[in-house]
Amino acid sequence: MPGQNYFLINALPTLGELGGTPPLKPTQLLEHISENAAATALVEFLFLGDDLLQRQGGLAGEITELDVSVLTEAQARDEQPLPDYLTGRLQTEDEAGDESAARRMVQEDDLWEAYYHHGARLARRWSSSFLSAWIGFEVGLRNALAVARSQALGLEPDDYLVAPELTDDEHDFDPLLNEWTSAQTPLAGLRALDNGRWNWLAQNDFWFTFKNDELAAYAVRIMLLNRWDRLSHVERDNSAAAKKPEPE
């Protein structure tokens, strides 16, 4: 597969820094790699995570326009069922003895737990070291944030953990949490977290290996670039609306 990926990767545009203009939409990257089944499976999983975040924001009334690439818009708006692997809570060896569903405090956490375990199965199926490491980082970061928030509110942290058995226990999340807690606005806090993700990629992107994992790492960068492109448009629209004079 590295031979095939050599041409796929060399044909991809160079990426700038986080906050820059994305050269590709997620759907365009999926089309570009469509003949590589393994890479497509990995990249679809990664883009699905962003789709689920948009779905969550839409259902909460935080966003109105969706730009999903794996889910249909009807699924993202909760007008059609999500894929079975996200709703069936398939029991695997990863989840043996897991009692978290019985005491889940936030129902949406069931969806994310199913999502991460689906990714762990994909990582094993396609022998993806990158995907396994990315899930460990993402789950670890998510749970570190959950612990910080619950402790601040005087709640039991264990009730808000998602798939803790998949966490990268060796990663120190404290510096990133400190940046997040010191942010002046929620948007600045999100930027700090995504900067942390971007920096993690620089150390784990399988650059110049021409493996499927290199395509997967590229996909995460595309996802983050497109996320901040959407956020910048929302921020500009909100600023324009705030400056618009009210009718007399």
The least confident of 72-81, 83-92, 95-104 is 95-104
Q: How far is CA 186 from CA 115, 124, 179, 180, 183, in A?
A: 25, 35, 12, 9, 7
Please tell me the distance from the alpha carbon of residue 48 to that of residue 196, in angstroms, as a whole number. Answer: 20
If we measure between CA atoms, which residue out of 68, 24, 37 comes closest to residue 219? 24
Does the structure show a pLDDT above 50 at 47?
yes
Token representation of residue 157: 């942290």
- pLDDT value at 101 more than 90: no
Mean pLDDT lowest among 143-157, 168-182, 203-217, 233-247:
233-247
Task: Tell me the pTM.
Answer: 0.89
pLDDT at 92: 46
Residue 38 CA to chain centroid, in angstroms? 19
Domain boundary assignment for the chain: 2-236
Q: Is the per-residue pLDDT at 22 higher than 90? A: yes
CB-based contacts of 11, cutoff 8 Å, min separation 6: 32
pLDDT of residue 248: 55
Rg (CA), the chain: 19
**Distance from the first to the final alpha carbon of the chain:** 65
